[in-house]
Amino acid sequence: MIPSRWLLVVMTPLLFGACRADEPKKPAMETSQNAPTQPEGKVEKSDAEWRKELTPEQYRILREAGTERPNGQVYEEFKKQGGGTYYCAGCGAELFSSKEKFDSHCGWPSFYDPSKAKNVVTKTDYSGGMTRTEVNCAVCGGHLGHVFTGEGFNTPTDKRYCINGTALKFAPAK
């Protein structure tokens, strides 16, 4: 006879494994062949509307100031993308251009300047026990990432806009 403890040890992982749903795949950076229609004025939506329109990962980043993991699928896609424009995944506002894109080897999409400065705003961020400069979409208020200055990158601005790729929508140049 098999001791019940041994049976429990052997069967528990099998039971949980059989009931476990596959892990959801991390959403890749959205790509569109056409530029989204630019919003006119501020975009304001209820929490329920944002949750309905965004993926869970986009919601976590854009609406809850989350951060995606470095060197993920989104970053790998970003490195392969050619010329084009990057828009807010929340509202479609133009944010960055591939002309200002560079590989900072940090694990997240990097730009040295926003293409439409009026659509990008910054504010001081004291979260995580440090002081940083948070980057937000000026149109919908979505969290995009952070900007760092004086790191010694050979760019015209010596700034690194370190942006969550999941918060961006890419449209290739025509």
Catalytic positions, please?
Answer: 162
Partners of 46 in the β-ladder: none
Going across the sheet that includes 132-137, the strands are 101-102, 110-111, 159-163, 143-149, 132-137, 120-125
In residues, how long is the chain?
174
Whose CA is closest to 65, among 152, 150, 123, 3?
123
Running DSSP on this structure, what letter comes out for residue 109? Answer: -
Residue 87 near residue 171 (C-beta atoms within 8 A): yes
User: CA triplet 50, 56, 59: central angle to 5 degrees?
Assistant: 45
Running DSSP on this structure, what letter comes out for residue 110? Answer: E
